Chains A and B, each alone.
Chain A
Amino acid sequence: MADQREPTVIVDDAHVVYRVHQAGTAGTGSPLASFKRIVTGTKPATLREVHAIKGVSFVAYKGEAIGLIGTNGSGKSTLLRAIAGLLPVEKGAIYAAGQPSLLGVNAALMNDLPGERNVVLGCLAMGMSPAQVKSQVKEIIDFSGINERGDFSSLPMRTYSSGMAARLRFSIAAAKKHDVLLIDEALATGDAKFRKRSEQRVRDLRAEAGTVFLVSHSEQSIRDTCERCIWLESGLIRADGPTEEVLKQYESFVKK
Protein backbone atom coordinates (compact mmCIF):
# COMPACT_ATOMS: atom_id res chain seq x y z
CA MET A 1 0.00 0.00 0.00
CA ALA A 2 1.11 3.50 -0.67
CA ASP A 3 0.79 4.72 2.91
CA GLN A 4 3.15 1.98 4.06
CA ARG A 5 5.94 3.92 2.41
CA GLU A 6 8.00 5.95 4.79
CA PRO A 7 8.67 9.55 3.80
CA THR A 8 12.26 10.72 4.25
CA VAL A 9 12.07 14.20 2.77
CA ILE A 10 9.01 16.42 2.72
CA VAL A 11 9.18 19.73 0.95
CA ASP A 12 6.15 21.85 1.80
CA ASP A 13 5.66 24.91 -0.39
CA ALA A 14 9.29 25.94 -0.02
CA HIS A 15 10.56 29.28 -1.23
CA VAL A 16 14.26 30.02 -1.31
CA VAL A 17 15.57 33.51 -1.79
CA TYR A 18 19.22 34.09 -1.70
CA ARG A 19 21.32 37.15 -1.64
CA VAL A 20 24.26 37.40 -3.89
CA HIS A 21 27.16 39.74 -3.28
CA GLN A 22 28.90 40.26 -6.52
CA ALA A 23 32.01 42.15 -7.34
CA GLY A 24 31.18 45.62 -8.55
CA THR A 25 29.61 45.99 -11.92
CA ALA A 26 30.27 49.09 -13.98
CA GLY A 27 29.93 52.32 -12.00
CA THR A 28 29.92 50.73 -8.55
CA GLY A 29 33.61 50.12 -8.16
CA SER A 30 34.86 53.51 -7.03
CA PRO A 31 35.09 54.66 -3.42
CA LEU A 32 32.91 57.62 -4.35
CA ALA A 33 30.12 55.35 -5.55
CA SER A 34 30.29 53.34 -2.34
CA PHE A 35 30.13 56.50 -0.28
CA LYS A 36 27.15 57.82 -2.23
CA ARG A 37 25.38 54.52 -1.72
CA ILE A 38 25.87 54.66 2.04
CA VAL A 39 24.81 58.31 2.30
CA THR A 40 21.70 57.90 0.18
CA GLY A 41 20.87 54.61 1.88
CA THR A 42 20.25 52.78 -1.36
CA LYS A 43 20.76 49.07 -1.46
CA PRO A 44 24.16 48.21 -2.85
CA ALA A 45 23.96 47.40 -6.50
CA THR A 46 26.29 44.53 -5.74
CA LEU A 47 23.68 42.87 -3.55
CA ARG A 48 20.99 41.13 -5.53
CA GLU A 49 18.17 38.93 -4.40
CA VAL A 50 17.49 35.83 -6.39
CA HIS A 51 14.17 34.11 -5.89
CA ALA A 52 15.45 30.70 -6.86
CA ILE A 53 12.71 28.38 -5.61
CA LYS A 54 9.16 29.65 -5.82
CA GLY A 55 6.95 27.24 -3.93
CA VAL A 56 7.94 23.65 -4.43
CA SER A 57 6.17 20.72 -2.74
CA PHE A 58 6.86 17.02 -2.94
CA VAL A 59 7.42 13.97 -0.78
CA ALA A 60 10.32 11.59 -1.19
CA TYR A 61 10.17 8.10 0.23
CA LYS A 62 12.65 5.64 1.62
CA GLY A 63 14.46 3.66 -1.04
CA GLU A 64 13.73 6.11 -3.85
CA ALA A 65 16.30 7.60 -6.16
CA ILE A 66 15.02 10.85 -7.54
CA GLY A 67 16.55 12.65 -10.46
CA LEU A 68 16.31 16.41 -10.64
CA ILE A 69 16.42 17.84 -14.13
CA GLY A 70 15.97 21.27 -15.62
CA THR A 71 17.79 23.77 -17.74
CA ASN A 72 20.73 25.71 -16.29
CA GLY A 73 19.67 28.06 -13.52
CA SER A 74 16.34 26.38 -12.92
CA GLY A 75 17.04 25.99 -9.20
CA LYS A 76 18.12 22.36 -8.96
CA SER A 77 21.28 22.92 -6.94
CA THR A 78 19.56 25.51 -4.77
CA LEU A 79 16.83 23.02 -3.94
CA LEU A 80 19.43 20.45 -2.92
CA ARG A 81 21.16 22.96 -0.70
CA ALA A 82 17.89 23.86 0.94
CA ILE A 83 17.11 20.20 1.60
CA ALA A 84 20.56 19.81 3.11
CA GLY A 85 19.77 22.68 5.46
CA LEU A 86 22.54 24.84 4.05
CA LEU A 87 20.25 27.52 2.65
CA PRO A 88 17.38 28.64 4.84
CA VAL A 89 13.89 28.63 3.35
CA GLU A 90 12.17 32.00 3.11
CA LYS A 91 8.66 30.58 3.29
CA GLY A 92 7.25 27.09 3.71
CA ALA A 93 9.24 24.26 5.23
CA ILE A 94 11.47 21.32 4.44
CA TYR A 95 11.44 18.27 6.69
CA ALA A 96 13.95 15.46 6.54
CA ALA A 97 14.73 12.22 8.31
CA GLY A 98 18.15 12.55 9.87
CA GLN A 99 20.71 14.82 8.33
CA PRO A 100 20.76 14.92 4.52
CA SER A 101 24.28 15.11 3.12
CA LEU A 102 25.10 17.14 0.08
CA LEU A 103 27.75 15.76 -2.17
CA GLY A 104 28.86 18.27 -4.73
CA VAL A 105 31.78 18.31 -7.08
CA ASN A 106 32.92 21.62 -5.64
CA ALA A 107 33.28 20.26 -2.13
CA ALA A 108 36.65 21.59 -1.10
CA LEU A 109 39.12 19.58 0.89
CA MET A 110 42.64 20.64 1.80
CA ASN A 111 44.61 20.83 -1.40
CA ASP A 112 48.05 20.92 0.18
CA LEU A 113 47.56 17.63 1.97
CA PRO A 114 47.94 14.16 0.56
CA GLY A 115 44.82 12.32 -0.57
CA GLU A 116 45.14 9.91 2.30
CA ARG A 117 45.04 12.63 4.96
CA ASN A 118 42.07 14.16 3.18
CA VAL A 119 40.24 10.86 3.37
CA VAL A 120 40.82 10.74 7.13
CA LEU A 121 39.77 14.36 7.53
CA GLY A 122 36.65 13.93 5.40
CA CYS A 123 35.58 10.82 7.29
CA LEU A 124 36.05 12.51 10.65
CA ALA A 125 34.08 15.51 9.38
CA MET A 126 31.22 13.16 8.56
CA GLY A 127 31.22 12.09 12.19
CA MET A 128 33.00 8.75 12.02
CA SER A 129 35.04 7.55 14.98
CA PRO A 130 38.82 7.17 14.53
CA ALA A 131 38.47 3.38 14.62
CA GLN A 132 35.87 3.43 11.85
CA VAL A 133 38.05 5.75 9.81
CA LYS A 134 41.04 3.47 10.14
CA SER A 135 39.13 0.51 8.78
CA GLN A 136 37.67 2.53 5.92
CA VAL A 137 40.65 4.46 4.54
CA LYS A 138 42.02 1.71 2.34
CA GLU A 139 38.61 0.80 1.01
CA ILE A 140 37.87 4.42 0.08
CA ILE A 141 41.16 4.88 -1.73
CA ASP A 142 40.71 1.62 -3.57
CA PHE A 143 37.19 2.58 -4.57
CA SER A 144 38.28 5.96 -5.87
CA GLY A 145 40.89 4.21 -7.97
CA ILE A 146 43.39 7.08 -7.64
CA ASN A 147 46.15 4.57 -6.98
CA GLU A 148 45.65 2.83 -10.29
CA ARG A 149 48.54 4.80 -11.80
CA GLY A 150 51.00 4.58 -8.98
CA ASP A 151 50.95 5.84 -5.43
CA PHE A 152 48.91 9.01 -5.77
CA SER A 153 47.24 8.83 -2.38
CA SER A 154 50.39 10.08 -0.67
CA LEU A 155 50.75 13.07 -3.01
CA PRO A 156 49.13 16.43 -2.23
CA MET A 157 45.67 16.82 -3.71
CA ARG A 158 46.74 19.87 -5.70
CA THR A 159 48.68 17.52 -7.95
CA TYR A 160 45.54 15.58 -8.88
CA SER A 161 43.67 16.01 -12.10
CA SER A 162 40.17 17.41 -11.63
CA GLY A 163 38.68 14.03 -12.39
CA MET A 164 40.81 12.31 -9.78
CA ALA A 165 39.95 14.86 -7.12
CA ALA A 166 36.25 14.54 -7.87
CA ARG A 167 36.48 10.78 -7.67
CA LEU A 168 38.16 10.95 -4.30
CA ARG A 169 35.52 13.34 -2.97
CA PHE A 170 32.73 11.15 -4.17
CA SER A 171 34.35 8.10 -2.63
CA ILE A 172 34.70 9.81 0.74
CA ALA A 173 31.09 10.95 0.84
CA ALA A 174 29.79 7.60 -0.37
CA ALA A 175 31.70 5.72 2.34
CA LYS A 176 29.17 6.60 4.95
CA LYS A 177 25.63 5.35 5.10
CA HIS A 178 23.46 8.41 4.65
CA ASP A 179 19.77 8.62 5.37
CA VAL A 180 19.43 11.06 2.54
CA LEU A 181 22.19 11.58 0.01
CA LEU A 182 22.10 14.56 -2.31
CA ILE A 183 24.38 14.31 -5.30
CA ASP A 184 25.08 17.34 -7.43
CA GLU A 185 26.44 16.37 -10.83
CA ALA A 186 29.05 14.22 -9.13
CA LEU A 187 28.65 11.32 -11.48
CA ALA A 188 29.40 13.46 -14.47
CA THR A 189 33.08 13.51 -13.56
CA GLY A 190 35.49 10.67 -13.84
CA ASP A 191 36.01 8.24 -16.65
CA ALA A 192 33.53 5.66 -17.86
CA LYS A 193 34.94 2.99 -15.59
CA PHE A 194 34.56 5.09 -12.49
CA ARG A 195 31.12 6.23 -13.51
CA LYS A 196 29.98 2.67 -13.68
CA ARG A 197 31.38 1.97 -10.22
CA SER A 198 29.83 5.08 -8.72
CA GLU A 199 26.45 4.29 -10.21
CA GLN A 200 26.69 0.88 -8.58
CA ARG A 201 27.52 2.59 -5.27
CA VAL A 202 24.50 4.87 -5.58
CA ARG A 203 22.35 1.81 -6.11
CA ASP A 204 23.91 0.18 -3.03
CA LEU A 205 23.30 3.24 -0.93
CA ARG A 206 19.72 3.19 -2.05
CA ALA A 207 19.40 -0.47 -1.14
CA GLU A 208 20.57 0.45 2.35
CA ALA A 209 17.24 2.20 2.69
CA GLY A 210 18.41 5.77 2.14
CA THR A 211 16.96 8.19 -0.35
CA VAL A 212 19.11 9.57 -3.11
CA PHE A 213 18.64 12.80 -5.02
CA LEU A 214 20.67 13.23 -8.17
CA VAL A 215 21.14 16.45 -10.08
CA SER A 216 22.61 15.84 -13.48
CA HIS A 217 22.58 17.06 -17.02
CA SER A 218 23.35 13.62 -18.25
CA GLU A 219 20.05 12.00 -19.10
CA GLN A 220 21.80 8.70 -19.29
CA SER A 221 22.97 8.69 -15.69
CA ILE A 222 19.51 9.78 -14.53
CA ARG A 223 17.90 7.04 -16.55
CA ASP A 224 20.35 4.49 -15.14
CA THR A 225 20.00 5.39 -11.46
CA CYS A 226 16.62 6.99 -10.88
CA GLU A 227 13.13 5.68 -11.37
CA ARG A 228 11.49 8.93 -10.34
CA CYS A 229 12.24 12.30 -11.80
CA ILE A 230 11.37 15.87 -10.90
CA TRP A 231 11.63 18.53 -13.57
CA LEU A 232 12.27 22.02 -12.26
CA GLU A 233 11.93 25.10 -14.40
CA SER A 234 12.44 28.67 -13.08
CA GLY A 235 12.01 27.50 -9.51
CA LEU A 236 8.75 25.64 -10.09
CA ILE A 237 8.02 21.97 -10.60
CA ARG A 238 7.01 21.32 -14.20
CA ALA A 239 6.64 17.59 -13.85
CA ASP A 240 7.09 14.85 -11.29
CA GLY A 241 6.75 11.18 -12.07
CA PRO A 242 8.42 8.11 -13.55
CA THR A 243 11.73 8.98 -15.19
CA GLU A 244 10.77 7.91 -18.72
CA GLU A 245 7.65 10.07 -18.83
CA VAL A 246 9.27 13.14 -17.36
CA LEU A 247 12.34 12.86 -19.57
CA LYS A 248 10.11 12.59 -22.64
CA GLN A 249 8.32 15.83 -21.70
CA TYR A 250 11.63 17.48 -20.88
CA GLU A 251 13.17 16.50 -24.18
CA SER A 252 10.30 17.90 -26.17
CA PHE A 253 10.56 21.12 -24.13
CA VAL A 254 14.27 21.49 -24.70
CA LYS A 255 14.02 20.81 -28.42
CA LYS A 256 11.43 23.49 -28.92
Chain B
Amino acid sequence: MTQTAVADSDTGLPLRELARRHGLTAAGKLPSLPAYSRQLWSYRYFIASYANAKVTSALGKTRLGMLWQVLTPLINAAVYYVIFGLVLSTARGVDNFVPYLCTGVFIFQFTQSVVQAGVQAISGNLGLIRALHFPRASLPLAITMVEVRNMFASMAVLMIIVLGFGEPLTFEWLLVVPIFLLQSVFNAGLAMAAARLGSKVADIKQLVPFIMRIWLYGSAVLYPVTKFSSNEHLQAHKWALYVVEANPLLVFIDLMRHALMEEVPLAASPMVLWLEAIGWALVVGLGGYVYFWRGEKGYGRG
Protein backbone atom coordinates (compact mmCIF):
# COMPACT_ATOMS: atom_id res chain seq x y z
CA MET B 1 0.00 0.00 0.00
CA THR B 2 1.29 3.45 -0.81
CA GLN B 3 0.97 6.64 1.11
CA THR B 4 -1.75 8.19 -1.02
CA ALA B 5 -4.02 5.27 -0.30
CA VAL B 6 -3.53 5.94 3.36
CA ALA B 7 -4.66 9.54 3.17
CA ASP B 8 -8.31 8.92 3.80
CA SER B 9 -10.34 8.95 0.64
CA ASP B 10 -13.68 7.94 2.14
CA THR B 11 -15.07 11.38 1.65
CA GLY B 12 -12.56 12.78 -0.78
CA LEU B 13 -11.89 15.67 1.58
CA PRO B 14 -8.48 17.12 2.18
CA LEU B 15 -7.28 16.11 5.62
CA ARG B 16 -7.30 19.62 6.99
CA GLU B 17 -10.94 20.03 6.01
CA LEU B 18 -11.80 16.68 7.58
CA ALA B 19 -10.14 17.76 10.83
CA ARG B 20 -12.03 21.05 10.85
CA ARG B 21 -15.37 19.37 10.14
CA HIS B 22 -14.98 17.01 13.09
CA GLY B 23 -13.73 19.71 15.40
CA LEU B 24 -10.27 18.26 15.93
CA THR B 25 -7.66 20.60 17.28
CA ALA B 26 -4.09 20.79 16.10
CA ALA B 27 -1.68 19.15 18.51
CA GLY B 28 0.71 21.56 20.14
CA LYS B 29 -1.51 24.61 19.82
CA LEU B 30 -1.05 27.20 22.55
CA PRO B 31 -4.21 27.74 24.64
CA SER B 32 -5.33 31.32 25.21
CA LEU B 33 -4.15 32.99 28.41
CA PRO B 34 -7.58 32.91 30.13
CA ALA B 35 -8.10 29.26 29.11
CA TYR B 36 -4.64 28.41 30.39
CA SER B 37 -5.31 30.15 33.70
CA ARG B 38 -8.57 28.24 34.13
CA GLN B 39 -6.79 24.99 33.36
CA LEU B 40 -4.11 25.85 35.90
CA TRP B 41 -6.74 26.61 38.52
CA SER B 42 -8.34 23.20 38.03
CA TYR B 43 -4.93 21.67 38.72
CA ARG B 44 -4.56 23.41 42.09
CA TYR B 45 -4.84 20.10 43.97
CA PHE B 46 -2.06 18.67 41.87
CA ILE B 47 0.14 21.67 42.61
CA ALA B 48 -0.48 21.37 46.34
CA SER B 49 0.12 17.64 46.51
CA TYR B 50 3.17 17.87 44.27
CA ALA B 51 4.65 20.51 46.58
CA ASN B 52 3.89 18.26 49.53
CA ALA B 53 5.46 15.30 47.84
CA LYS B 54 8.61 17.26 47.06
CA VAL B 55 9.13 18.24 50.68
CA THR B 56 8.51 14.72 51.91
CA SER B 57 10.82 13.12 49.39
CA ALA B 58 13.58 15.67 49.97
CA LEU B 59 13.60 15.30 53.75
CA GLY B 60 12.26 11.76 53.93
CA LYS B 61 15.68 10.14 53.91
CA THR B 62 17.23 12.39 56.54
CA ARG B 63 17.24 11.36 60.17
CA LEU B 64 15.91 14.64 61.51
CA GLY B 65 13.23 14.86 58.82
CA MET B 66 10.98 17.89 59.05
CA LEU B 67 13.11 19.35 61.83
CA TRP B 68 15.41 20.56 59.06
CA GLN B 69 12.82 23.09 58.02
CA VAL B 70 13.61 24.92 61.27
CA LEU B 71 17.26 23.95 61.59
CA THR B 72 18.28 25.23 58.16
CA PRO B 73 17.33 28.87 58.82
CA LEU B 74 18.78 28.70 62.35
CA ILE B 75 22.17 27.47 61.17
CA ASN B 76 22.07 29.96 58.37
CA ALA B 77 21.55 32.85 60.77
CA ALA B 78 24.26 31.53 63.06
CA VAL B 79 26.83 31.41 60.24
CA TYR B 80 26.23 35.00 59.20
CA TYR B 81 26.12 36.16 62.79
CA VAL B 82 29.53 34.67 63.55
CA ILE B 83 31.19 36.14 60.44
CA PHE B 84 29.58 39.53 60.19
CA GLY B 85 28.46 40.15 63.74
CA LEU B 86 31.41 38.81 65.73
CA VAL B 87 34.41 38.57 63.43
CA LEU B 88 33.94 41.60 61.19
CA SER B 89 31.43 43.58 63.27
CA THR B 90 29.88 45.50 60.40
CA ALA B 91 27.23 46.74 62.80
CA ARG B 92 28.17 50.40 62.47
CA GLY B 93 25.05 52.48 61.97
CA VAL B 94 22.56 49.88 63.16
CA ASP B 95 21.53 49.64 66.80
CA ASN B 96 20.35 46.10 66.89
CA PHE B 97 22.47 44.37 64.29
CA VAL B 98 21.60 40.69 64.80
CA PRO B 99 17.86 40.95 64.06
CA TYR B 100 18.72 43.35 61.24
CA LEU B 101 21.09 40.82 59.70
CA CYS B 102 18.80 37.82 60.23
CA THR B 103 15.81 39.53 58.63
CA GLY B 104 17.91 40.29 55.58
CA VAL B 105 19.33 36.78 55.35
CA PHE B 106 15.96 35.07 55.73
CA ILE B 107 14.09 37.24 53.26
CA PHE B 108 16.88 36.93 50.74
CA GLN B 109 17.04 33.18 51.24
CA PHE B 110 13.37 32.90 50.33
CA THR B 111 13.92 34.35 46.85
CA GLN B 112 17.25 32.62 46.41
CA SER B 113 15.91 29.13 46.95
CA VAL B 114 12.96 29.78 44.67
CA VAL B 115 15.28 30.85 41.86
CA GLN B 116 17.68 27.96 42.41
CA ALA B 117 14.89 25.39 42.34
CA GLY B 118 12.97 27.22 39.61
CA VAL B 119 15.77 26.96 37.07
CA GLN B 120 15.44 23.20 37.26
CA ALA B 121 11.65 23.06 37.52
CA ILE B 122 11.29 22.05 33.88
CA SER B 123 14.66 20.54 33.00
CA GLY B 124 14.65 18.34 36.09
CA ASN B 125 11.17 16.96 35.47
CA LEU B 126 11.26 16.03 31.80
CA GLY B 127 10.11 12.51 32.56
CA LEU B 128 6.96 13.78 34.19
CA ILE B 129 6.40 16.35 31.46
CA ARG B 130 6.77 13.85 28.65
CA ALA B 131 4.46 11.37 30.31
CA LEU B 132 1.52 13.41 31.51
CA HIS B 133 -0.42 16.39 30.32
CA PHE B 134 -0.86 19.09 32.88
CA PRO B 135 -0.30 22.83 32.65
CA ARG B 136 3.47 23.11 32.98
CA ALA B 137 3.24 26.22 35.15
CA SER B 138 2.20 23.80 37.91
CA LEU B 139 5.85 22.86 38.36
CA PRO B 140 7.40 26.28 39.10
CA LEU B 141 4.32 27.16 41.14
CA ALA B 142 4.69 24.00 43.21
CA ILE B 143 8.33 24.88 43.81
CA THR B 144 7.30 28.33 45.00
CA MET B 145 4.81 26.67 47.35
CA VAL B 146 7.51 24.44 48.78
CA GLU B 147 9.60 27.50 49.61
CA VAL B 148 6.58 29.34 50.99
CA ARG B 149 6.08 26.44 53.37
CA ASN B 150 9.74 26.46 54.36
CA MET B 151 9.43 30.18 54.89
CA PHE B 152 6.70 29.70 57.51
CA ALA B 153 9.21 27.90 59.68
CA SER B 154 11.88 30.50 58.91
CA MET B 155 9.56 33.36 59.83
CA ALA B 156 8.77 31.74 63.17
CA VAL B 157 12.49 31.38 63.88
CA LEU B 158 13.09 34.94 62.74
CA MET B 159 10.41 36.37 65.01
CA ILE B 160 11.85 34.56 68.00
CA ILE B 161 15.33 35.92 67.20
CA VAL B 162 13.97 39.45 66.80
CA LEU B 163 12.05 39.27 70.08
CA GLY B 164 15.00 37.66 71.82
CA PHE B 165 17.20 40.61 70.90
CA GLY B 166 14.87 43.02 72.61
CA GLU B 167 12.61 44.31 69.88
CA PRO B 168 9.06 44.90 71.12
CA LEU B 169 6.02 43.13 69.72
CA THR B 170 3.92 45.85 68.02
CA PHE B 171 0.91 46.13 65.75
CA GLU B 172 3.30 46.82 62.90
CA TRP B 173 4.15 43.12 62.97
CA LEU B 174 0.84 42.52 61.19
CA LEU B 175 2.44 44.05 58.10
CA VAL B 176 4.51 40.88 57.81
CA VAL B 177 1.54 39.19 56.15
CA PRO B 178 1.14 41.55 53.16
CA ILE B 179 4.91 41.80 52.69
CA PHE B 180 5.15 38.02 52.66
CA LEU B 181 2.31 37.79 50.13
CA LEU B 182 3.87 40.37 47.82
CA GLN B 183 7.22 38.63 47.95
CA SER B 184 5.57 35.28 47.24
CA VAL B 185 3.91 36.66 44.11
CA PHE B 186 7.23 38.17 43.06
CA ASN B 187 8.97 34.83 43.67
CA ALA B 188 6.36 32.88 41.73
CA GLY B 189 6.93 35.09 38.70
CA LEU B 190 10.67 34.73 39.09
CA ALA B 191 10.37 30.94 39.38
CA MET B 192 8.35 30.73 36.16
CA ALA B 193 10.75 32.97 34.26
CA ALA B 194 13.72 31.00 35.58
CA ALA B 195 12.04 27.71 34.67
CA ARG B 196 11.59 28.71 31.05
CA LEU B 197 15.07 30.15 30.76
CA GLY B 198 16.55 27.06 32.37
CA SER B 199 14.66 24.76 30.01
CA LYS B 200 15.92 26.64 26.93
CA VAL B 201 19.52 27.28 27.91
CA ALA B 202 21.02 24.69 30.20
CA ASP B 203 23.99 27.02 30.79
CA ILE B 204 21.85 29.30 32.97
CA LYS B 205 22.05 26.80 35.80
CA GLN B 206 25.81 27.33 35.96
CA LEU B 207 25.36 31.09 36.19
CA VAL B 208 22.68 31.20 38.87
CA PRO B 209 25.07 30.96 41.86
CA PHE B 210 26.98 34.02 40.62
CA ILE B 211 23.87 36.02 39.84
CA MET B 212 22.46 35.27 43.29
CA ARG B 213 25.71 36.22 44.97
CA ILE B 214 25.83 39.61 43.24
CA TRP B 215 22.22 40.10 44.19
CA LEU B 216 23.02 39.21 47.80
CA TYR B 217 25.86 41.71 48.03
CA GLY B 218 23.74 44.36 46.37
CA SER B 219 20.73 44.02 48.62
CA ALA B 220 22.09 45.42 51.88
CA VAL B 221 21.68 42.09 53.58
CA LEU B 222 25.05 42.03 55.34
CA TYR B 223 25.62 45.76 55.90
CA PRO B 224 23.48 48.81 56.72
CA VAL B 225 21.42 50.08 53.82
CA THR B 226 22.68 53.63 54.49
CA LYS B 227 26.01 52.63 52.93
CA PHE B 228 24.45 53.35 49.55
CA SER B 229 23.31 56.90 50.21
CA SER B 230 26.58 57.75 51.94
CA ASN B 231 28.61 56.43 49.01
CA GLU B 232 30.30 59.31 47.16
CA HIS B 233 30.12 57.68 43.72
CA LEU B 234 26.44 57.00 44.06
CA GLN B 235 25.82 60.50 45.40
CA ALA B 236 27.43 61.96 42.33
CA HIS B 237 25.07 60.00 40.07
CA LYS B 238 21.59 60.30 41.52
CA TRP B 239 20.09 57.91 38.95
CA ALA B 240 22.53 55.18 39.92
CA LEU B 241 21.42 55.49 43.52
CA TYR B 242 17.79 55.16 42.42
CA VAL B 243 18.62 52.02 40.47
CA VAL B 244 20.48 50.47 43.38
CA GLU B 245 17.73 51.33 45.84
CA ALA B 246 14.92 50.09 43.58
CA ASN B 247 16.32 46.56 43.86
CA PRO B 248 13.22 44.49 44.67
CA LEU B 249 14.94 42.37 47.31
CA LEU B 250 16.28 45.45 49.05
CA VAL B 251 12.70 46.77 49.05
CA PHE B 252 11.22 43.59 50.56
CA ILE B 253 14.00 43.32 53.12
CA ASP B 254 13.67 46.95 54.13
CA LEU B 255 9.92 46.64 54.53
CA MET B 256 10.27 43.54 56.67
CA ARG B 257 12.87 45.20 58.88
CA HIS B 258 10.64 48.20 59.20
CA ALA B 259 7.72 45.99 60.27
CA LEU B 260 9.63 43.91 62.80
CA MET B 261 12.06 46.44 64.28
CA GLU B 262 11.77 49.85 65.89
CA GLU B 263 14.80 51.87 64.85
CA VAL B 264 16.01 50.85 61.42
CA PRO B 265 17.68 52.90 58.74
CA LEU B 266 15.61 52.64 55.53
CA ALA B 267 16.49 53.29 51.89
CA ALA B 268 13.37 55.40 51.38
CA SER B 269 10.16 56.33 53.18
CA PRO B 270 7.89 53.37 53.96
CA MET B 271 5.26 54.70 51.54
CA VAL B 272 7.69 54.66 48.62
CA LEU B 273 8.87 51.20 49.61
CA TRP B 274 5.33 49.86 49.68
CA LEU B 275 4.58 51.24 46.22
CA GLU B 276 7.81 49.75 44.90
CA ALA B 277 7.01 46.37 46.45
CA ILE B 278 3.53 46.29 44.91
CA GLY B 279 4.96 47.35 41.57
CA TRP B 280 7.63 44.67 41.60
CA ALA B 281 5.18 41.95 42.62
CA LEU B 282 2.77 42.86 39.82
CA VAL B 283 5.37 43.30 37.09
CA VAL B 284 7.45 40.22 37.88
CA GLY B 285 4.48 38.05 38.89
CA LEU B 286 2.45 38.75 35.75
CA GLY B 287 5.45 39.08 33.46
CA GLY B 288 6.89 35.74 34.57
CA TYR B 289 3.52 34.05 34.12
CA VAL B 290 2.98 35.39 30.59
CA TYR B 291 6.56 34.60 29.61
CA PHE B 292 6.18 31.03 30.88
CA TRP B 293 2.82 30.54 29.18
CA ARG B 294 4.23 31.59 25.80
CA GLY B 295 6.62 28.65 25.91
CA GLU B 296 4.06 26.11 27.17
CA LYS B 297 4.15 23.81 24.16
CA GLY B 298 7.90 23.54 23.86
CA TYR B 299 8.72 22.19 27.31
CA GLY B 300 8.56 18.52 26.38
CA ARG B 301 11.24 18.92 23.74
CA GLY B 302 14.09 19.00 26.18
Contact = CB atoms under 8 A, between A and B. Distances in A.
A97 B22 contact: yes
B164 interface: no
Interface stretch (A101-109, A141-149, A202-210): A101-109
A57 B49 contact: no
B237 interface: no
A57 B24 contact: no
B63 to A, nearest CB: 15
Interface string A99-128: 111111011111111000100111011110
B297 A85 contact: yes
A239 B2 CA distance: 7
Interface residues of B, number: 45
A106 B130 CA distance: 9
Given A10-B18, A124-B45, A104 B128 contact: no
B23 interface: yes
A57 B300 contact: no
B11 A3 contact: yes
Interface string B48-82: 01100110110011000000000000000000000
Contacts of B56: 112-113, 117
User: Interface size for chain A: under 10, 10 to 19, 20 to 34, or 35 or more residues?
Assistant: 35 or more
Contacts of A81: 130, 300
Contact of A107 (B60, B132, B202): B132
A89 to B, nearest CB: 7
Contact of B19 (A10, A88, A100, A126): A10
Contact of A121 (B22, B27, B46, B202): B46
A184 B133 CA distance: 16
A240 B1 contact: yes
A97 B57 CA distance: 36
Contacts of A69: none
B56 to A, nearest CB: 7
B24 A96 contact: yes
A96 B27 contact: yes
A240 B28 contact: no
A102 B297 contact: no
A3 B7 CA distance: 14
Contacts of B26: 93-95
A199 interface: no
A89 B28 contact: yes
B214 interface: no
B262 interface: no
B263 to A, nearest CB: 47
A95 B42 contact: no
Nearest to B138: A125
B46 to A, nearest CB: 4
B54 to A, nearest CB: 8
Contact of B22 (A6, A107, A108, A129): A6
A160 to B, nearest CB: 15
Q: Which of A97, A127, A239, A240 has the most CB atoms of chain B within a 10 A radius of its CB?
A: A127
B23 A125 contact: no
B127 interface: yes
Contacts of A108: 125, 127-128, 131
B8 interface: yes
B22 A120 contact: no
Nearest to A249: B1
A153 B245 CA distance: 54
A221 B125 CA distance: 31
B16 to A, nearest CB: 6
A155 interface: no
A241 B6 CA distance: 9
Nearest to A169: B131
B53 A102 contact: no
B46 A125 contact: yes
A24 B228 CA distance: 46
B15 interface: yes
Interface string A186-206: 000000000000000000000
A174 interface: no
16 contacts: A11-B15, A57-B7, A59-B15, A81-B300, A82-B27, A85-B27, A88-B28, A88-B298, A93-B16, A94-B26, A104-B130, A107-B128, A108-B127, A126-B134, A127-B134, A240-B6
Interface of A: 2-3, 5-13, 18-19, 21, 55, 57-59, 81-89, 93-97, 99-104, 106-113, 117, 120-122, 124-127, 129-130, 156, 169, 173, 236-237, 239-241
Closest A-B pairs by Cβ, 8 of them: A108-B127, A107-B131, A86-B300, A112-B57, A95-B19, A95-B24, A85-B27, A124-B46
Given A112-B56, A122-B132, A124-B49, 7 more contacts: A8-B24, A81-B130, A89-B28, A95-B19, A95-B26, A106-B127, A241-B1
